[in-house]
Amino acid sequence: MQSRWVDRDAKDTVDRYAKMGIAPELALRVYTTRLLGGDPKLVLHGGGNTSVKVRMPDLLGEDTEVMCVKGSGWDMASIEPAGLPAVRLQPLRKLRTLDALSDADMMRMQRASLLDPLSPSPSVEMLLHAFMPAKFVDHTHATAVLSLIDQPDGEKLCGEVYDGRMGFVPYLMPGFGLAKKAGEVFDKNPNVLGLILDKHGLFTFGAEARESYERMIEMVSRAEERLKKNRKAMFKSGQKIPQHVVAEIEVAPILRGVCSLKNDGAEGAHRRLIIEFRTDDAIVNFVNGAELARYSQQGVITPDHTIRTKNWPLIVPAPEAGKLDDFKRAATQAVEKFVAYYKDYFTRNNARVGGAKKMLDPLPRVVLVQGLGLFGLGRSKQDAIIAADIAEAWIEGVTDAEAIGTFKSISEADMFDCEYWPLELAKLGSAKEKPLAGQIAVITGAGGAIGAATARAFANAGAEVALLDINLAAAKTQAETIGGNALPVPCDVTSEAVVRAAFDQVVHAFGGVDIVVSNAGAAWQGKIGEVDEKILRESFELNFYGHQRVAQAAVKIMLVQGTGGCLLFNVSKQAVNPGPNFGPYGLPKAATLFLVRQYAVDYGADGIRANAVNADRIRSGLLTGDFIKERSKARGVSEKDYMSGNLLQREVTADDVAQAFLHQALELKTTGDVTTVDGGNIAAALR
Ligand code: ZN
């Protein structure tokens, strides 16, 4: 591992922050924190922190000895000085004289010692930083070092590799106890350049930012070098991996289905997860290894991973082509066993700690599929990505640990204490989950006004959204507006092959599909007795068969998942109330209205609901200025009266339609329903 320190960059950082009144030492603390945070082999998703001890004025302007330490919620790779809140050092140092300090009291002390009470809460590892005298303190969970210390004889190995230059702290969970223990180890040999925390990570110290940072690089490099020596041949494949393993997009919907909780909270409400797939030679070598069942079930490589990946992954056998039913059966059994084991694990450990904990969902967060790779699972795409990132680091760490010895993690009790530690869980945030969390929604015609408004509404309700449109640029623009993991997909719904490819892309990105808003459409006009048959057929191709193709592609995936689903169609008031010269548009829409009911009938028993919205006169790609002019002329009214020509005399917007779709998606006991969103039109009323 090379130092990424560049003198010019360091100087630029100091100069830039000097203009904002930031001291050089804090500017350099920001610079090296970013260097550490930018390397996933050192720091991954919140697994590390840094500090610097300086003097600065308090709120009254009095010069105070403080420590600026990484605050929670900040990413080290993009940290700013505000992400390193200052805490008063004197009161924190006094805590070392206590025999014990509860987590609640520690948190209270942390907040009480903030120089600015509006700052973010400091890292839960803050006290360890405070108890070390060094000006700069760096902490990471570097994968290479974890491979050395996640061993039965980690202390001996570190002794050889570091030759007494690093102190060795036996495993304790983070908090006051660990900080105090680290202080004792340091006091025994104050010449050490840092500390190794068994089964957890390492700290390095320095008088300067560069010194502490480069000591981190040096210590990790030494571990890397040791990992290259005397390696055993790795993971001889002892499993019978079939020759023809199916693609990941065939497997993902099956896994989503089996890794869900049926009737969670309400009848028909499934707790679902989003998927992120990863594979490469190292992953496949690991998952195909003869001793997978041993080395994969030992636990995490560093305790804070447990809140993202749980302690153990789920293992399922290779999915052989032509035998997906067997795969589904095996995966179902594996999940049932996993969940039963998790519940037992929770029950026995909860009893040990007093029985007051509430069980988290027992579903796996990492699935290893032999012959294929790994799936990260999460309640959002972002959580699935984090689980997959951590699982990849775990595979690397375990592989190297096994190469030089035997991988060994902390005990089950220690893993439980971290998984259910309120201070660790706080990293996940306390915001209430949104109603569509864990669900994947596909919206066609998402580049247009109604589709875009619907995609926005579903994303705001917590769904992962795929925006399908024949105009990819329009879909991209809307996806960028939504942000996050919103996925633009090119899709012409008049082509079966294109629709299939679009759904493949959605499954690849998220793992399946739960909700479809079939919205793409366009208007053709013509007097029905005179219209060219070609026009009628063109309109049917889009306004009827387009819906059918999309619904069919979605249902196929929903049936594989086995967790129900929701098909929503943008029909039109034309389906029940023909407008003059509008037959070419109204006829296929009338057929689509019937299509909705047919899906409701044929798939109700599978928990798949089918509903429609009949909207009227929405300003959209379909209803442009010219078109409004034409239709108002056909009706013999002014444009303004045409747009608000309804019982309520209110213009209906794309957002109104989006809210109707959202309502239908959330109503678990409604199917075969048509909701009118038209401001009131008795002639178009269904009954
Ligand atoms: Zn740590």
How far is CA 179 from each of CA 54, 70, 159, 519, 555, rounded to the nearest angstrom? 20, 16, 21, 58, 55
Rounded mean pLDDT of the chain? 94
Question: Do the Cβ atoms of 300 and 307 come closer than 8 Å?
Answer: no
pLDDT for 622-677, tens place per residue? 667 787 888 788 888 888 888 888 889 888 999 999 999 999 999 999 999 999 99
Q: What share of the chain in percent tops pLDDT 70?
A: 99
What average pLDDT does the segment 564-585 reach? 93
What average pLDDT does the segment 507-521 reach? 97
Q: CA dihedral defined by 286, 289, 294, 299, rounded to 10 degrees?
A: 0
pLDDT at 144: 97
Alpha helices (H) along 232-323: 248-258, 281-287, 292-295, 306-309
* Kind plus residue range of the DSSP H or E element containing 156: helix 154-162
What average pLDDT does the segment 80-97 reach? 95
pLDDT of 302 strictly over 70: yes
pLDDT of 76 strictly over 70: yes
pLDDT at 57: 93
> Ligand 1 centroid to 408 CA: how many Å?
18
Least confident of 213-227, 415-429, 457-471, 595-609: 415-429
| Sign of the CA dihedral running 21, 25, 30, 31 | positive
DSSP states of 188-230 as a string? H-TT-SEEEETTTEEEEEESSHHHHHHHHHHHHHHHHHHHHSS
pLDDT at 621: 61
> Ligand 1 centroid to 86 CA: how many Å?
20
> Ligand 1 centroid to 201 CA: how many Å?
6
pLDDT of 378 strictly over 80: yes
> Ligand 1 centroid to 274 CA: how many Å?
28
What average pLDDT does the segment 399-419 reach? 95
Question: Do the Cβ atoms of 619 and 577 come closer than 8 Å?
Answer: no
How far is CA 635 from each of CA 102, 630, 645, rounded to the nearest angstrom? 75, 9, 11
What is the pairing mode between strands 565-570 and 201-206? unpaired
Q: What is the Cβ-side half-sphere exposure of residue 191, based on CA atoms within 13 angstroms?
A: 4
> Ligand 1 centroid to 457 CA: how many Å?
39
pLDDT of 135 strictly over 90: yes
Which residues are bridge partners to 516 per DSSP? 442, 567
> Ligand 1 centroid to 141 CA: how many Å?
6
> Ligand 1 centroid to 429 CA: how many Å?
18
Q: Residue 160: phi, psi to the nearest 5?
A: -65, -45
Query: Confidence band (pLDDT; 50, 70, 90) for 452?
Result: very high
pLDDT for 100-111, tens place per residue? 999 889 989 999
What average pLDDT does the segment 10-16 reach? 97
What is the DSSP-derived secondary structure letter of residue 439?
Answer: -
Least confident of 105-114, 228-237, 349-358, 645-654: 228-237
Query: Confidence band (pLDDT; 50, 70, 90) for 239?
Result: low
Phi-psi region of 164 (alpha: psi -120 to 50; beta: other; left: phi over 0): left
> Ligand 1 centroid to 553 CA: how many Å?
46
> Ligand 1 centroid to 119 CA: how many Å?
21
Which is higher by pLDDT, 452 or 263? 452
The token duo for 299 is 């636990």
- CA-CA distance, 408 to 398, in Å (whole number)? 9
Question: Do the Cβ atoms of 114 and 135 come closer than 8 Å?
Answer: no
- CA-CA distance, 314 to 342, in Å (whole number)? 11
pLDDT at 380: 97
Residue showing tokens 């009737």: 263
| Sign of the CA dihedral running 529, 530, 533, 537 | negative
What is the DSSP-derived secondary structure letter of residue 246?
Answer: P
Question: Do the Cβ atoms of 472 and 490 come closer than 8 Å?
Answer: yes
Least confident of 46-50, 57-61, 178-182, 615-619: 615-619
Q: What is the CA radius of gyration of the chain?
A: 30
pTM strictly above 0.85 = yes
b/e per residue, 391-405, with b = 16+ CB within 10 A? bbbbbbbbbbbbbbb
- CA-CA distance, 462 to 320, in Å (whole number)? 34
Between CA 186 and CA 197, with CA 192 as vertex, the angle to 5 degrees is: 60
What average pLDDT does the segment 357-366 reach? 95
pLDDT of 179 strictly over 70: yes
How far is CA 628 from each of CA 72, 221, 617, 655, 656, rounded to the nearest angstrom? 54, 69, 8, 19, 19
- CA-CA distance, 125 to 176, in Å (whole number)? 8
> Ligand 1 centroid to 300 CA: how many Å?
13
pLDDT at 238: 63
pLDDT for 453-473, tens place per residue? 999 999 999 999 999 999 999
> Ligand 1 centroid to 554 CA: how many Å?
44
> Ligand 1 centroid to 451 CA: how many Å?
45
What is the DSSP-derived secondary structure letter of residue 432?
Answer: P
* Ion ligand 1: protein residues whose beta carbon lies under 5 Å: 201
| Contacts with 302 (C-beta within 8 Å, 6 or more apart), sequence order | 47, 141, 146, 199, 200, 201
> Ligand 1 centroid to 654 CA: how many Å?
49
Which residues are bridge partners to 202 per DSSP? 140, 196
Query: What are all long-range contacts of 243-250, with beta carbons under 8 Å and residues at least 24 apart?
Result: 244/320, 244/321, 244/322, 245/318, 245/319, 245/320, 245/321, 245/371, 245/372, 246/319, 246/320, 246/321, 246/324, 248/277, 248/279, 248/372, 248/373, 248/508, 249/504, 249/507, 249/508, 250/319, 250/324
> Ligand 1 centroid to 418 CA: how many Å?
12
pLDDT of 253 strictly over 90: yes
What is the DSSP-derived secondary structure letter of residue 19?
Answer: T
> Ligand 1 centroid to 670 CA: how many Å?
49
> Ligand 1 centroid to 227 CA: how many Å?
22
> Ligand 1 centroid to 286 CA: how many Å?
26
What is the pairing mode between strands 166-169 and 194-197? parallel
Which is higher by pLDDT, 624 or 345? 345
pLDDT at 687: 63
> Ligand 1 centroid to 1 CA: how many Å?
20
pLDDT at 623: 67
